A and B are shown apart, each in its own frame.
Chain A
Amino acid sequence: MKLTLGIFLNGQSGTLIAGSGKYLLYEGKFSWQTFLDELEHCLSILGLSRKDVIKVYFTPPLSSSAKSDIKPIFHLRLVPEQFSAFFTQSQNLQKLVTIFQVTPEKLLQKLEENKEQIKKANVISIIAPFGLVYPEKEDKAIRILKKLASATILKSQDYPQLGFYEREKALLIADNFMVTVYPYLKQLRDFFAPYPPGIYWVENEAVCLTEDFLPQTCGKIYEFAPLLQIARGAAVLFGYRYSLALFKVGSTFKLFQVQNSLEVSELSPPFSFISASSVQPLLASLKYRLPENVQGIIPIFNFSSYYFSDSYPYRFYQLAFSKLLRYIGFLTAPAVLTSLTICKQEELYENKKNLLKNLHLINKKHNFLEKPVVFYQETPIRYLTFNHTILKVGLKESSSLQL
């Protein structure tokens, strides 16, 4: 049997689940001390060996119970004097992070003033706006930080997302990951040695954690990960290849589609999809651009607690949030391998070829994806003293869930 393990971490405790296909086979609680015992217990109850575990999934939210006043993450923003920055992370993350904004000119003096705080941090991250503070200055800051502390340092240059806020979000989630999940990774790898399964981070799709893939993809849909997983869970559990899921987040409705039982994507428009009255027009317009292979009744799993009447081809199913849906949606997340790089325009083709070759090798080595499909995307960065492009190359699973 091919078993997938899912791990939710909540401060000092957590939940371990195990499943295969659409079946949830195990659920158990653990603490940091009892994690391996619980894992052992799970496998023995199911009568399976370590070799049967093919994937281990972690998912948001990551919450850590910081008992002392010392925040484990020290986040340094190296920005120009007038840079307008704001912090929009969740309360949970705010408890863990000390944000420190400084200009390259005042760096030395400020770091010296905060030496004690830096020394106590478990993870240090550094971010600078692209094109405004050049990598040399960032590298210099890293050299100084290395002298001051022995903590792991994550730098924004490894996070090629374009957009300061997007990159900072990813960086902070990776910081949190380092603080919260990293201790478990070592235990897991030791436990499964010499055949460790693939370990993945799941927001929507499962992103392989080997070879530092986390920086490339985490953070984008961190807040909505539970909704995406619930949408997928409902599609898998009720056995629909194509379905829709409707949620209400604050005052805004969110509509997701689930294709091939597993591939979840958002359909709600970026701005004005707010009131209940906008749901029906959106569904009406969607009717005419459904995928070609979609025929007959389309189920809409309605988690919004608002009542909507059925109209062909849609049928609403009023559902409530349930752990089971989340668990199944989480465990059935399709895996992707994505690699990003910032490269010169002239070297684009060569880089594309190399990244792809590399991804194929990793895929083969770890046996992640059976029938991978290649995808890539280019975003040119213009109007700088150099011409670079952000290149994204990836492999994803081609087939749908084998139930």
Chain B
Amino acid sequence: MQEITIDWIEPLWYGSIFLGSGGGGKSELLASVLYKALQNRSIPLLTLDELPENNFFCGVGLLGSPELSEESLPSGMEARIIIEELEKHTGAKFKGISIVEGAGVNIFYPLLTALQTGLPVTDGDAMGRAFPELQMTTYHLENLTVTPLVLIDSNYNLHLFLDKQDTFLLELNTRQIISQQGGVGYFAGFPYPGSVLKRVLLPGTLTFAREIGECFLQADNYRELFSLLLEVTSNSFYGPVVEIFQGTVTNISTYEITKWKAATLISPKGEKLQLLFQYENLLAFKNGNMVASVPDLISAIDLNKLKPVNNNEIYEGQQLALLGLPAPLRLRISKALDVVGPQCFGYRTIYVPLEKLYWDYYHKKEVFS
């Protein structure tokens, strides 16, 4: 059994931003709290193989706006309350914490919960990247419900969703509560035994996030960073990373509906790339042709700082490299694309895998070598 120690935090921080694919949020305050708490402690990390078949785990996470989590920082008390409440209603005694969204701020919150409850955490998650909604998980693919789910808002009001209900509807209900109660809440749900989690979760994603982050710490220049990322991603179930574009942000436009945004990048050669994003980066068009689409990950790297950046950190004049990372295979099947494909975000286009868009790169060049 591995242990998450203080050395994990910084690489995990960069890895969480990269896998956030532009979204997922980041809370330096939360990471700092964890960093301080891990000074002389550690969190047990269980790989999926190590999960006890009959022991129950619960998924915890932050729901709502990661930015607003800094407005009302989790005290840790809420984690105990929601887990105890969930135990009361399920009758199960939880023996561990499972991660639902293995990117952004939702990597750190389960770790904080694990630390406060003394429970181990699973090395795997149900999204493999950042997604904004509850149905966009691998649980959905296995027809497993999110409920029973306990939600606590920033005013410490408990909201119980105990009956089996449609995940889309649950998503709407929880968002409505969150919107009225401070924009951020914490949930405990997905109560499943190890035997189910072994089947459902994407394995090793926490370790993968750390490995991705290590690349950012080790690399001295962009080429080296790309090579390191290529090595790490080629040896994962995601697939080799590909460079989509390098250029300078010339424009960021906002559409009337708040979540629709687009950034325009120009390369030194004069090529133009349009990056469409809402919370996460969703589509990229180079000179009018699609070059990447959700659920594949589109992550931006600040070329001056050589660090991954979130969408709300992009500014005009910034030099960025956009990298594409193939989504795990399970997010690419029809049933998954019904909930995470481009059309789910309101775009009238279909998903085209990176391997098809970069045929030569993936099939002729020996990227796996």
Contact = CB atoms under 8 A, between A and B. Distances in A.
Given A129-B72, A271-B31, A289-B220, A381 B156 contact: no
Given A284-B220, A382-B183, A80 B155 contact: yes
Contacts of A164: 70-73
Contacts of A380: 67, 258, 312
A287 B64 CA distance: 40
B29 A270 contact: no
Contacts of A25: none
A271 B10 contact: yes
A295 interface: no
Nearest to B69: A163
A82 interface: yes
Given A82-B155, A289-B220, A381-B65, A130 B71 contact: yes
Contact of B254 (A80, A163, A349): A349
Contacts of B67: 162, 379-382
A385 B254 contact: no
B121 to A, nearest CB: 19
Given A272-B10, A345-B254, A378-B252, A84 B77 contact: yes
A181 B180 CA distance: 40
Contact of B220 (A287, A346, A349): A287
Contact of B68 (A130, A271, A378, A387): A130
B179 A383 contact: yes
A345 B255 CA distance: 8
Contact of A162 (B9, B68, B180, B217): B68
B35 A383 contact: no
A348 interface: yes
Contacts, number: 133
Nearest to B303: A289
B174 to A, nearest CB: 10
A195 interface: no
Nearest to B304: A289
A132 B154 contact: yes
Interface in B45-98: 64-65, 67-68, 70-75, 77
Nearest to B312: A379
Interface in A218-262: none
A272 B71 contact: no
A384 B258 CA distance: 12
A132 B182 CA distance: 4
A163 B29 contact: yes
Given A131-B68, A163-B29, A383 B304 contact: no
A80 B154 contact: yes
Contacts of B316: 376
Contacts of A132: 71-72, 154-155, 181-182
B221 interface: yes
B349 interface: no
B156 to A, nearest CB: 4
Contact of A270 (B6, B10, B71, B181): B10
B271 interface: no
Contacts of A383: 64-65, 68, 175, 178-179, 183-184
B166 interface: no
Contacts of B221: 288-289
Nearest to B31: A271
A283 B139 CA distance: 45
A80 B156 contact: yes
B366 interface: no
Contacts of B180: 385
A247 to B, nearest CB: 19
A310 interface: no
| Majority secondary structure of chain A interface residues (helix, strand, loop or mixed) | loop
Interface in A362-403: 375-385, 387, 389
A208 B190 CA distance: 52
A89 to B, nearest CB: 16
A285 B214 CA distance: 13
B360 interface: no
A83 interface: yes
A84 B78 CA distance: 11
A84 B73 contact: yes
B155 A84 contact: no
Contacts of A377: 315
Contacts of A270: 10, 13, 28, 31-32
Contact of A163 (B9, B71, B305, B312): B71
B70 A271 contact: no
B343 to A, nearest CB: 22
Interface in B292-317: 304-306, 312, 315-317
B312 A345 contact: no
Contacts of A382: 64-65, 67-68, 183, 258, 279
A346 B256 contact: yes
A396 to B, nearest CB: 12
Instruction: Pick from B77, B181, B258 the residue with the most CB of A within 10 Å.
Output: B258
A224 B18 CA distance: 29
B141 interface: no
Instruction: Pick from A83, A291, A380 the residue with the most CB of B within 10 Å.
Output: A380
Interface in A262-313: 269-272, 284-285, 287-289, 291
16 contacts: A83-B72, A131-B184, A132-B154, A132-B155, A271-B32, A285-B217, A285-B218, A285-B220, A288-B221, A375-B317, A377-B315, A383-B179, A383-B183, A384-B68, A384-B182, A387-B258
Given A80-B156, A383-B65, 17 more contacts: A81-B155, A82-B156, A84-B72, A84-B73, A84-B77, A130-B183, A131-B183, A163-B71, A164-B73, A270-B28, A270-B32, A289-B304, A345-B256, A382-B183, A383-B179, A384-B68, A387-B258
